[in-house]
Amino acid sequence: MAFFDSIGRNTVGGFAYVGGLARLSGRAAYFTLIGPFRGKALRWSRAFHQAMAVGVEALPILSTITFFVGLILALQGAYELRKFGALQYVAGGVAVSMTRELGPLMTAIVVIGRSGSAFAAEIGTMKVTEEIDALTTMALNPVQFLVTPKFLAMILMLPCLTTWADFMGVMGGAVFGVTGASFTFGGYVQATLDALLKRDIITGLIKAVMFGAVITAVGCYEGFETGGGAEEVGRSTTSAVVMSIFLVIIVDLIFTSLFYLLGR
């Protein structure tokens, strides 16, 4: 009984959580899309700084990770494919897996670790030190001031990062292609381009945008939900990372199923 009880409670809690995320996203969307027409200026310069922090500064680690992921994919793929003497399909396999799935996902994971946690920590600290209250008393809406620039930055940067991740993954695959599977570099790239459909890239980018929204919403929401005390900021940060990974996977599942059904 207690088990079902706790499932029930968690389900209710889960809905409340998602409701909170939706409300926050809705308000951020209002300030992004409708606010500017009502005299509430968009904060492009803040968004730009966020975009630099989210995007450009993530490039080294993201490049390294996705390069290796591409290489791993090629190795794993080749392990099966060589049984059928079909090693020439490695390039296509890597390309499709990267663009449709692992490019967006690995980007999301890196961004969660770097930026999602930072959003929660930043806003959580501001909550604890009453800086959020200070914003409010100065007639500066905290969502407009803090969250909107982050949303803008994330929604713009995640597709860019994902595209780069796809590219680095293909490069990783090419290393195996050239050294382990008798491709020339040019031949590997050609095989990649032949295998990729525009649809593969677009579905990946749609996922990336959704992931960006989820990560921002969770990071900021956890920040705003921070109670009193510095240790609470640590708790918010941790739970922002865990919840973001979980929700990114759920969103990924939903969109992958959708694309699967639509793509038949």
Partner 1 sequence: MSDPNSDKTLSVHDLRVRYGEREILHGISFDVPRGETLVILGGSGSGKSTLLRTLVGLQPATSGEVWIRGQDIAKMSEDELDETRKKIGLSFQGGALFGSMTVGENVCLPLREHTQLEESTIQIIMRLKLEQVGLAGFENYMPSQLSGGMKKRAAVARAMAMDPEILFFDEPSAGLDPIIAAGIDNLILKLKKAFRMTIIVVTHELASAFLIADSMLLINKGDIVAHGTREEMQNSTHPRVRQFLDRVPEPEVAEEMDYLQMLTGEAPPKAL
Q: What is the contact surface with partner 1 in residues (CB under 8 A)?
A: 122, 125-126, 129-131, 133-134, 136-141
Q: What string of DSSP letters covers the chain?
A: -HHHHHHHHHHHHHHHHHHHHHHHHHHHHIIIIIGGGGT----HHHHHHHHHHHTGGGHHHHHHHHHHHHHHHHHHHHHHHGGGT-GGGHHHHHHHHIIIIIHHHHHHHHHIIIIIHHHHHHHHHHHHTTHHHHHHHTT--HIIIIIHHHHHHHHHHHHHHHHHHHHHHHHHHHHHHHHHS---HHHHHHHHHHH--HHHHHHHHHHHHHHHHHHHHHHHHHHHT--SSHHHHHHHHHHHHHHHHHHHHHHHHHHHHHHHHHT-
How far is residue 222's CA from residue 169's CA, in Å, rounded to a whole number? 32
As measured in angstroms, the least distance from the Cβ of 49 to partner 1 is: 10
Q: Which of 67, 61, 101, 83 is nearest to 174 (CA)?
A: 67
**In the complex with partner 1, which residue's Cβ is closer, 64 or 136?**
136
**In the complex with partner 1, which residue's Cβ is closer, 125 or 237?**
125
As measured in angstroms, the least distance from the Cβ of 131 to partner 1 is: 5
Under a CB-based contact definition with an 8 Å cutoff, are residues 178 and 73 in contact?
no
As measured in angstroms, the least distance from the Cβ of 58 to partner 1 is: 20
**In the complex with partner 1, which residue's Cβ is closer, 126 or 213?**
126
**In the complex with partner 1, which residue's Cβ is closer, 28 or 95?**
28
**In the complex with partner 1, which residue's Cβ is closer, 138 or 262?**
138
As measured in angstroms, the least distance from the Cβ of 149 to partner 1 is: 13
**In the complex with partner 1, which residue's Cβ is closer, 33 or 197?**
33
As measured in angstroms, the least distance from the Cβ of 145 to partner 1 is: 8
**In the complex with partner 1, which residue's Cβ is closer, 126 or 247?**
126
As measured in angstroms, the least distance from the Cβ of 140 to partner 1 is: 6
As measured in angstroms, the least distance from the Cβ of 126 to partner 1 is: 8
